Structure 1
Amino acid sequence: MTGQLVCHCQLVETDGHGLVLVDTGFGSRDVDDPYGRMSPLFVTMNRIRLDHRDTALEQVRNLGFSPRDVRHIVLTHLDFDHAGGLEDFPEAKVHVLRAEAEEAEVRQGFIHRRRYRPEQWDEVRDWRFYDPSGETWFGFNSVRDLDGLPPEILMVPLPGHTMGHAGIAIDLPEGWLLNAGDAYFYRHEMDEEPSCTPGLLAYQTLMEENRAMRLRNQERLRDLANDPSTNVRIFCSHDPVELEALQRLSTGWRPLYAESLPRSRYS
């Protein structure tokens, strides 16, 4: 028995800062050459289904924009299923935590060599690296004042899945929206009494770099998700039910607008 996962990206339309893409999912070149661009192990194990129509590039075009309109890409991390479309947007600045960039460059160990794929970003020329500093966000460390981005968008370091993993928080008129990336994989992990399917639990364990940090950050996110006074909506990168719920809501978000883009799926 198998389940279905998505690669959930966001497109944020800002006032005066162009389009901002949060993660890219798989890119057009991944569709053309999946085994050359990604680890055959993960392509086969995850039964990744790739289609040009599902790439962020085509989704941006379908919304009436040009790839050149995407001026910034903010990454939760550099795993192959989050950064594969970087080269589809050559005009964009790419924002990532410095710790993540350093881990991806070294690629030490069996999992690192397969999760980080330099083929997906070796043509990127405009990187912006950040260290946690400054004012906290609901008790979490944060990175504010991202270069060229409005103050409503910030990084929230959430190490554990990778050591440079981050959430991306967006301050919308309706409240905060937190893309928690791969800090968790299944919506019920955010319940007061959390649960997770055995397969996703095993996959998270396989991919974690620091178990104690990952579980601690899950706990902190869970507390935040269940505190109605904070007005924070949290979602992860791979839960299809969360994606569908956010797509239904996204059409009403103004003036800082966030569109949840459907992406290639795992099965």
Structure 2
Amino acid sequence: MNDWEIHAVKYADRNARTRRDSFILDDNHDAPHAMDYFVWVLKRGNEVILVDTGYDSDEAAARGRPIAMDPREALRPLDITPEAVTDIIVTHLHYDHAGGLHMFPNAKLHMQSAEMAFATGPCMCHDHLRAPFTAGHICEVVKRLYSGKVVFYDGEAEIIDGVTVHCIGGHSRGLQCVRVRTEAGWMVLASDASHYYENFMARKAFPIVVDLQDMMDGFKTLERLASHPRLIVPGHDPLVREVFPVGAAPHIHRLDPGPTRDIKL
């Protein structure tokens, strides 16, 4: 069986942040702490799977969080057109991961049942839990569901040979990571199961959390799934761009060969 390529595609960043935004009870909470925003592309020959979609300029304006480029434009160097994308793994339904679903009209969505129940259930009565979601994005999933283009999973499942998903929870009730077979070994796209290397390496929780125990237990799950901890790729860490080589364009980094050096906090 052939291995997969993985491309991390950066489309936005936020530099006006501090460590209090990234870690619960951090000792150095006022220090600057930047965040990158990615989508990921899995490629094997003519097969393409998109992992998450990012968000568009309308969402950027509504939240006051500008994007560097439209995710569709960001994918262009990989010769990917929105209409040609047939499968999207949705790690969870927060705006920065599912805010561009409408931009890929022909795609089937792969997600956890628990995430749909969370995003449409009584937890959304609470402002704090609802804040990272946008109603229009959830409605897009419902429309896709009624057109037969959503596949739900409960826990662990194989999407296709060499690609599996695993429900982690914690940050969002149905958050899932993606395990991919590459030339470097089994690589895990953590998404927001670990925003930064420091989250899982130092066992530091991220402040946006629905179940703290699930989040902390999830760090062990990431380590169990990866062939080596250095093959765990966090969802928002600018360090990703330092330890993996540049790919098809300056904003794209190639992950599947593995990092070029060890990650040191």
- The answer on 1:158 being equivalent to 2:176 is no
Other-structure match for 2:77: 62
Corresponding residue number in structure 2 for 1:113: 130
The one-letter code sitting in structure 2 at the alignment partner of 1:143 is A
1:241 corresponds in structure 2 to 239
CA distance in 1, matches of 2:216, 2:106: 37
Change (3 A) 1:157 1:195: closer
Higher helix fraction (1 or 2): 1
Q: CA deviation at 1:121?
A: 4.5
Give secondary structure in 2 for the equivalent of 1:9: strand
In the aligned structure 1, how far is the partner of 2:93 from the partner of 2:129? 11
**Which runs of structure 2 are paired with 1:21-170 in the superposition (5 Å)?**
21-31=50-60, 34-35=61-62, 43=63, 48-51=65-68, 53=69, 55-106=70-121, 107-124=124-141, 125=144, 126-132=149-155, 142-144=156-158, 146=159, 150-170=160-180
- CA displacement 1:142-201 (0-9 Å, x = unmatched): 211x3xxx221110111111111110111112211101111122213343xx175xxxx5
Q: 1:172 to 1:242 in 2, by over 3 A?
A: same
1:18-54 CA-to-partner distances (Å, cap 9, x unmatched) read x2111112224424xx31xxxxxxx35xxx2323x2x
**CA, structure 1 residues 248+209, in 2 after alignment: closer, same or farther (shift >3 Å)?**
same
Distance 1:16 1:79 in 2: 29
| TM-score, normalised relative to structure 1 | 0.71
How far apart, in 1, do the equivalents of 2:188 and 2:195 lie?
14
Q: Distance in 2 between matches of 1:251 and 1:185?
A: 19
Deviation string, structure 1 residues 81-129 (Cα, Å, up to 9, x no partner): 1111111111111111000011111223112322221212433422211
Structure 1 CA distance, aligned partners of 2:127 and 2:40?
30
For 1:182, the aligned partner's letter is D
Q: Distance in 2 between matches of 1:9 and 1:66?
A: 14
1:185 aligned partner: 195
- Root-mean-square deviation (CA, aligned residues, Å) is 2.6
Residue in 1 that maps onto 2:11: none
- 1:264 is matched with none
- By how many angstroms is 1:245 displaced? 2.5
Deviation at 1:73, TM superposition (A): 0.8
Pick from 165, 170, 175 the counterpart of residue 185 of structure 2: 175
Whether the 8 Å contact between 1:27 and 1:86 is mirrored in structure 2 is no
> TM-score, normalized by length of structure 2?
0.71
Runs (5+) with no aligned partner, structure 2: 1-30, 248-252, 259-265
Aligned residues: 214
Q: How many Å separate the matches in 1 of 2:74 and 2:114?
A: 30
For 1:13 and 1:90, locate their aligned partners in 2 and report how far apart those are by CA, in whole Å.
Answer: 20
**Match of residue 23 from structure 2:** none
Question: Structure 1 or 2: larger strand share?
Answer: 2
- Structure 1 Cα separation of the partners of residues 245 and 192 of structure 2: 19
Counterpart in the other structure of 1:214: 215
Residue 236 of structure 1 aligns to which amino acid in structure 2? P
Structure 1: gaps (5+ residues)? 36-42, 133-141, 259-267
Verify the 8 A CA contact 1:28 1:57 in the aligned structure 2. no
